[in-house]
Amino acid sequence: MLRNLALAGAMLLSASFAADAQETIRIGAAMPITGPVAHGALQEKRGLETALEEINAAGGVLGKPLELVYEDNQCNPSVAVTVTTKLLEAGVPAVLGQQCSSAVLATMSLFQRAEVPLVSSIATNPKISELSGVGGNPWVFRLNPSDRELAVANVNYLASLGTIQKVAIVAESTDYGRGGADAFAEAAKQKGLEVVSTDFHQLAAPDFTTIIARLLNNGAQAVAVYQAHADNANFARQAHAQGLKAIMTGKLSLDGNTFAELIQQGAYDNAVTAFPYSPAVDTPENKAFTAHILEKYGESATYETFAGYESLRILAEAITRAGSAEPAAIRDALEATSYKSMIGATVDFDDHNQAHNNAVIITVDDRVLGVKDVFPTK
């Protein structure tokens, strides 16, 4: 019975793929659909779907419509390995996303072994580009600036204020958190700022009272955070309630209703962050994009929405240039990418397969979120 089941299943699977191979080009999209950072996956999906509609409405790629195959990596390294294997076995010629640094780092070797490109647009751990491109894994590409570049810009801005000498770091104990914390500490050292304390907490830790007490005591004037959305909001709420006056900095993604409320309540007064994107970046393309997203989904575009959108557009454009949907050809075409991003810079990859798109300095002045500066990360 087991034999027949397996046989039937195998036939079904191969039949479905045989049929599709002529009809569409299927691209894999792995993201944390469930789990503590599911919010980000929801946003990324919106960007992907928007790009997909536009591309297919214009006739698709190489004359065929594109199709996205979603898999849930739960922002967990071992699950990421499992679903990536699933996608690679399904024969997709390229994969977008993973979103979480830990997922990217855990699956990089799988892509190399299978010789299929991965286009990562959100994960920020600096190690990813260190391990890619020349002397490393030629199959992994990253669109977004790493935390190292962002931290440098962040610290530069803080230093320029003239009032900040002591900084504290609060980060989650993950690849993302630790990578970001290291990058910030390094940048702070270079610029002569003193890091008075560094705290690593578990993902989804509910209570930050003790950490906040420590920050109230050690005279930190700014707190650099590298946390998931929910933890960041939780921390900000508790810090504000307990009277922490240190300004929030680090990686703050202040999109969404919860953060809007917190900003209104004063939890993010004078916050400063260097971030890869803001819906308020003033270019015609970005304005059109954010308006479209707002109208379609009722919520403003976030970094993940933007990342999802541009990653699919860049990939589609590469496939078109390659003239084929073979992984190796796509990889070569990706290397030669020169794409005008909607936030102003040209996306092309350096020898570590790292793009250097613009980034933004976002500040909260008088309880209003605004873009202070758009700067290149080249």
User: Residues 206 to 265: which contact other proteins by CB under 8 A?
Assistant: 206-207, 209-211, 213-214, 216-217, 229-230, 233-234, 236-238, 240-243, 256, 258, 261-262, 265
> What phi, psi does 146 have (nearest 5°)?
-80, 170
147 contributes a contact to other proteins by CB under 8 A: no
Q: Which of residues 163-192 bind other proteins (CB under 8 A)?
A: 173-175, 178
Q: Which of residues 347-366 bind other proteins (CB under 8 A)?
A: none
Distance of CA 34 to CAs 50, 229, 235, Å?
21, 14, 22
CB of residue 257 to other proteins, shortest distance in Å: 9
How many chain residues are in contact with other proteins, going by CB under 8 A? 72
- Euclidean distance between CA atoms 117 and 143, whole angstroms: 13
Q: What ranges in 27-132 are assigned the alpha helix state H?
A: 38-57, 77-89, 101-114, 127-130
Nearer CB in complex with other proteins: 86/191: 86
CB of residue 161 to other proteins, shortest distance in Å: 24
Number of C-beta neighbours around residue 192 at 10 A: 9
Q: Which of residues 30-49 bind other proteins (CB under 8 A)?
A: 33-39, 42
CB of residue 210 to other proteins, shortest distance in Å: 4
Nearer CB in complex with other proteins: 230/374: 230
- Euclidean distance between CA atoms 102 and 12, whole angstroms: 34
CB of residue 353 to other proteins, shortest distance in Å: 19
Nearer CB in complex with other proteins: 49/299: 299
CB of residue 148 to other proteins, shortest distance in Å: 17
CB of residue 19 to other proteins, shortest distance in Å: 16
Site string for other proteins, 66-105 (x = CB under 8 A): ------x-x-xxxx-xx--xx--xx-----------x--x
3-class state of residue 122 by DSSP: coil
Nearer CB in complex with other proteins: 71/310: 71
Span near other proteins by CB under 8 A; candidates 6-14, 144-152, 324-332, 334-342 = 6-14
